[in-house]
Amino acid sequence: MKVRKAVFPVAGLGTRFLPATKAMAKEMLPVVDKPLIQYAVEEAYASGIKQIIFVTGAGKSAIENHFDHSCELEQTLMARGKDAQLKELHDLIPTSGSIIYTRQNQPLGLGHAIWCARNIVGNEPFAVLLADDLIKAEKPVLKQMIEKFEALNASIVSVVEVPKADTSKYGILDADALVDGVTKIRGLVEKPAPENAPSNLAIIGRYILTPEIFEILEGKEVGAGGEIQITDAMARLLKTQDIYGYRYTGTRFDCGNKAGFQMANLAFSLERPDLRERLIPYIKDLLNN
Ligand code: G1P
Identify the CA nearest to 219 among candidates 228, 231, 207, 206.
Answer: 228
Q: What spacing in Å lies between the alpha carbon of 55 and ligand 1's midpoint? A: 16
Tell me the pLDDT band of 55, cut-offs 50, 70 and 90: very high
What pTM did the predictor assign?
A: 0.95
Q: Please name the residue whose Cα sits nearest to atom 10 of ligand 1.
A: 170
Provide mean pLDDT across the span 88-96. Answer: 86
Tell me the pLDDT band of 97, cut-offs 50, 70 and 90: confident
pLDDT value of position 144 = 97
HSE toward the beta carbon, residue 32, CA cutoff 13 A:
16
Per-residue pLDDT at 89 exceeds 90: no
Tell me the pLDDT band of 219, cut-offs 50, 70 and 90: confident
pLDDT value of position 14 = 82
Mean pLDDT of the chain: 94
Q: What spacing in Å lies between the alpha carbon of 289 and ligand 1's midpoint? A: 38
Pairing of the two strands 34-35 and 30-31: antiparallel
Q: What spacing in Å lies between the alpha carbon of 176 and ligand 1's midpoint? A: 21
pLDDT 10s digits, 118-174:
999 999 999 999 999 999 999 999 999 999 999 999 999 999 999 999 999 999 999
Q: Please name the residue whose Cα sits nearest to atom 13 of ligand 1.
A: 170
Query: Counting atoms of ligand 1 from 1, which one is nearest the CA of 230?
Result: 8
Question: What is the Rg, in whole angstroms, of the alpha carbon atoms belonging to the chain?
Answer: 20
pLDDT value of position 90 = 86
pLDDT 10s digits, 252-269:
999 999 999 999 999 999
Per-residue pLDDT at 38 exceeds 90: yes
Helix axes 258-270, 273-288, angle to 10 degrees: 120
Tell me the pLDDT band of 59, cut-offs 50, 70 and 90: confident
Query: Counting atoms of ligand 1 from 1, which one is nearest the CA of 12?
Result: 15
CB 99 within 8 A of CB 50: no
pLDDT 10s digits, 237-248:
999 999 999 999
Cβ neighbors of 101 (< 8 A, separation 6 or more) are 53, 54, 56, 64
Q: Please name the residue whose Cα sits nearest to atom 15 of ligand 1.
A: 110
Q: What spacing in Å lies between the alpha carbon of 256 and ligand 1's midpoint? A: 10
Which domains does the chain show, CATH number per domain? 5-256 (3.90.550.10)
Per-residue pLDDT at 181 exceeds 90: yes
pLDDT value of position 212 = 97
Per-residue pLDDT at 280 exceeds 90: yes
CB 35 within 8 A of CB 66: yes
User: Which residues' Cβ are closer than 6 Å to ligand 1?
Assistant: 110, 130, 132-133, 170-171, 190, 202-205, 229, 231, 256
pLDDT value of position 95 = 86
